Structure 1
């Protein structure tokens, strides 16, 4: 097993992609810094997701990954459950959603740090994917949606700038 994929390294990669220091560009929290409730709710069109919806979606999957690492079942697989109602209608609700995202990230990172190295290659309950595969997928998922947030933020800022 290589040191690059040990639990401590995976936890570090989760932290870098979330807080900062990721090689791919701004981390998730760097992208969310300065986003207010109005910007979080902005949509590029009727079928597009808002930043707030993406934040809720990320929170859902981080909590799911943590639950699986701790030996619990994965998400129930109900269609759309991961895109639940995450449209904060007040600034306080948006701040609470951001805090819930941070809490989900911290819980996941802590669960990863506590893993024994051998546990990474264990299959998840009800799946043939390993814990390592789950974590690598989570890193990819977070980076993908961070890119979406970066684009949405630019579009929302441009739309704000074009208002009289």
Structure 2
């Protein structure tokens, strides 16, 4: 059987097919540039990292049976500060969120991966989506934003 937990592990900090895993991409960011807006009307690297954390936490929440909602942190949280220490905290929180997600995934039984999520206040947030589709989507989300961060970090 396909092991979706391995896919999120690879996207987070493993041997990702697409290149650097997202933790490596984040760790390569210069803390002084993490909060810069290099492209007008685009998010900073720090904002993308917070967005990744928010959705990782939301996926864990959904997998534990809570209804699909917007992330508790919001879709695009703003950084609380803009120092190298703040950047370290953002990376640390992303790491913790992914480690928790992996623990949640490892606790899911094989016969539960096809179960559909509980829908929350908005049908667009989860109706008809299975647990495996949710985690697969998050792995793709990690890869997509890792690419954005890699490009932005070249500025």
TM-score normalised to the size of structure 2? 0.88
CA RMSD of aligned residues (A): 1.8
Which of the numbers 114, 120, 129 marks the counterpart of 1:121? Answer: 114
How much does 1:34 deviate? 3.4
Q: Name the structure 1 match of 2:122.
A: none
Residue 10 of structure 2 corresponds to residue 12 of structure 1 = no
Note closer, same or farther for the CA distance 1:73–1:108 as it changes in structure 2 (3 Å cut): same
**Structure-2 separation of matches of 1:19 and 1:76:** 25
CA distance in structure 2 between the aligned counterparts of 1:142 and 1:26, rounded to whole angstroms = 11
Are residues 77 and 150 of structure 1, via their aligned partners in 2, closer, same or farther at CA, if it must alter by over 3 Å?
closer
**In 2: Cα distance, 1:123 partner to 1:33 partner:** 35
- Could you tell me which residue of structure 2 aligns to residue 33 of structure 1? 27
Per the alignment, residue 68 of structure 2 pairs with: 74
Question: What's the offset of the Cα at 1:43?
Answer: 1.5
Please say if residues 70 and 111 of structure 1, whose CA atoms lie closer than 8 Å, have aligned partners that are also in contact. yes
Number of aligned positions between the proteins = 148
Q: More helix per residue: 1 or 2? A: 1
Q: Is residue 8–residue 136 contact of structure 2 (8 Å, CA) maintained in 1? A: no
**After the TM superposition, which residues 81-100 of structure 1 pair with which residues of structure 2 at under 5 Å, given as runs?**
81-86=74-79, 88-100=81-93
2:105 corresponds to 1:112 = yes
Q: 104-113 or 67-76: which moved more? A: 67-76
| C-alpha deviation, 1:36, in angstroms | 3.3
Q: TM-score with structure 1 length normalisation? A: 0.84
Deviations, residues 106-147 of structure 1 (Å, cap 9, x unaligned): 011110011001111111001211111111111111111011
Based on CA coordinates, which of the two structures has the bigger radius of gyration? 1
Find the residue that maps to 1:16 and give its secondary structure: helix
CA distance in 1, matches of 2:69, 2:93: 18
CA contact (8 A) 1:37 1:88 kept: no
Match among 38, 51, 57 for residue 63 of structure 1? 57
CA distance in 1: counterparts of 2:116 and 2:95, whole angstroms: 27
How far apart, in 1, do the equivalents of 2:60 and 2:71 lie?
A: 16
- Structure-2 change in CA distance of 1:137 and 1:150 (3 Å): same
